[in-house]
Amino acid sequence: MFFQPYYLGCLAHASYLIGGVNGKAAVIDPRRDVEEYIADAKNAGLTIQYVIETHLHADFVSGHVELAKRTGATILLGASSGASFAHQPISGGEKITLGDLTLSFLATPGHTPEGITILAEAPEQPTRLFTGDTLFLGDIGRPDLVGAKGLTSEQMAHMLYTSLREKILPLADEIEVWPAHGAGSSCGKNLSDDRVSTLAVQKSTNLPLQLAMKGDEAGFIAYAIEGLGAPPAYFFHDAAKNREGGADVESILALAKPLAPSTVEEQSEEGVLVLDTRATGAFKSGHIPGAIEVQLDGNFAPYVGAVLPPTAPVIVVAEPGRETEAMTRLIRVGYENLVGWLEGGMDAWKAAGGELGTLGVIEPADLKALLSIKVAPTVLDVRTPSEWEAGHIESAVHIPIAELNSRLIEVPQGPLAVICGSGYRSAIACSLLLRNGRRDVVDVPGGWKAYSA
């Protein structure tokens, strides 16, 4: 048997290539750019026969349609998906065989109505359970991402509770659990950094799974629906695109063009969004006025989703040589309206005499000193509700980054210091405020971690 896991850190996304001795293979939950699966299967002497989606993902655009097109594979998807592309609906209890490998399907709705879990068994191999977003390591999938289908979070949480109680918990303790996401994903609240666990370990460490074990449905539902931050703006957009099937990455990249500084300036003035993906320090020292900063090295996609509409036209500013990387990562989460990139980067902008915006900072110790004598800017805290509840500056105003765009009117006037957990999100928030006309804004580098220390 062949088994190859993949992990895309920028999306905290796991996918898998698994095959049998007959040379037939399946890819589970593929990312949008599919070349690596095709190359690895070829190198292993495998033919990809199936592309299996544990559910219609919301946090990225899947490569299922492109992979099926490239390989001739059949797409397998939960029977109630409503997908409009060619696929084979799979119901609980069905099985497929790939030589010595048997894949058994469990219907596990709750994160989405069509959710399935895959049990993979082969001789002299550990039994593996591919849980998608039903069961994470340390957590469960959130039940609030299908509102457009007319189901409440409580109804979905009840489905998830039943799925865990009746389908997952009766399985053997030694089974390996391989989920679709890890820490950093917005599909759950308390995901682990681990890539694999066992069902026994999850029974002893995973709080919502323990609530399901005890039969505490009320406690489980309360846990599942409380403390959920707003999902990134692109989630519903991507779920709809996955139901239809997205275009391939290369065809979208081909439409983006290198742009001269004068063209970037002209289009920015006409309302095209300039996305600066460089390091935060570089943005602070000089950026295109009105640009929104989301640093490429970090949890890029969810925070792009927090501040940019998924259909907005975008011009990318990147460190030289990273333009295609930045655009590919945008395409992975459904941002396809890519006008192009600033050719030559900020060096070209400066050489052309382009205007430069800057962003000031206030060090955590200086902010603390000013607050102690009540001479300070207002502090805007853009962390999540759970982070805020765990500790915050008493006089601060709290607006999570995912809600800032829709709550700009609530941001106090006057001097403003913006803080988050580490400085990544606060810089994004500052750039958004600058774009919306604020000039009395400074960032708190190091965030709450540095301030509280």
Question: What would the pLDDT profile of 160-212 be if each residue is shown by its tens digit?
Answer: 999 999 999 999 999 999 999 999 888 888 899 999 999 999 999 999 999 99
- pLDDT band of residue 147 (cuts 50, 70, 90) is low
Q: For residue 141, is pLDDT > 80?
A: yes
Residues 313-336 have a mean pLDDT of 96
- pLDDT band of residue 14 (cuts 50, 70, 90) is very high
More confident residue, 234 or 51: 51
Tokens of 340: 């192009």
Alpha-carbon gap, residue 130 to 439, rounded angstroms: 49
Residue type, 265: E
Q: Provide the pLDDT for residue 190.
A: 85
What 3-state class would DSSP assign to 314?
strand
What region does 192 belong to: left with phi over 0, alpha with psi -120 to 50, or beta? beta
Taking alpha carbons only, the member of 156, 112, 188, 181 closest to residue 384 is 188
pLDDT (tens digit per residue) in 214-250: 999 999 999 999 988 777 778 889 999 999 988 899 9
362, 377 Cβ separation under 8 angstroms: yes
Q: Provide the pLDDT for residue 189.
A: 84
The whole model's pTM is what?
0.89
- Listed in sequence order, the residues at least 6 apart from 247 whose beta carbon sits closer than 8 Å to its beta carbon are 66, 336
Alpha-carbon gap, residue 9 to 6, rounded angstroms: 10
The maximal CA–CA distance of the chain, rounded, in angstroms, is 74
Residues 378-407 have a mean pLDDT of 93
Tokens of 188: 């759950």
Domains, the chain, ordered by start: 2-236 (3.60.15.10), 247-351 (3.40.250.10), 360-452 (3.40.250.10)
Q: What is the mean pLDDT of the chain?
A: 94
Residues 254-268 have a mean pLDDT of 97
Q: How far apart, in Å, are the Cα atoms of 381 and each of 51, 401, 422, 444?
A: 43, 9, 12, 10
47: phi then psi, degrees, rounded to nearest 5: -110, 125
